[in-house]
Amino acid sequence: MTAYIIGHIRITDPEKWHAYRSRVGATIAAWGGELVFRGEVAEVLNGVHPQTDTVVARFPDKQAIRAWHDSPEYQALIPLRDAGAEVVLISVDATA
């Protein structure tokens, strides 16, 4: 079943974030994932949402997400990610 990752992001160091973004796509593709979209929050319609950016990627299934996340290639990027932004990353099983 198709599964997604959603990242809610608040960029703290644009240079480091750019370096992370330029490398993370290859790690996603290696596990059959693809970027669905990446963008800035246009408007918060309800509630509190302190993040400025959102990213969504699609994977074949939740096992592929876990394999991607736990891969040495992605784990090596986490320090760079964390130096460039505060990120909340969740996985979602698609039901509709």
pLDDT tens string 69-86: 999 999 999 999 999 999
pLDDT at 94 over 90: no
Helix (H, G, I), strand (E, B) or coil at 52: coil
16-34: average pLDDT: 97
pTM assigned to the model:
0.90
Which backbone phi and psi does 25 adopt, to 5 degrees? -55, -40
Rounded to 5°, angle at Cα 8 from 60 and 33: 20
For residue 81, give both structure tokens: 């990610």
The CATH architecture to which 3-42+51-93 belongs is: 2-Layer Sandwich (3.30)
Closest CA to 58 of 21, 87, 93: 93
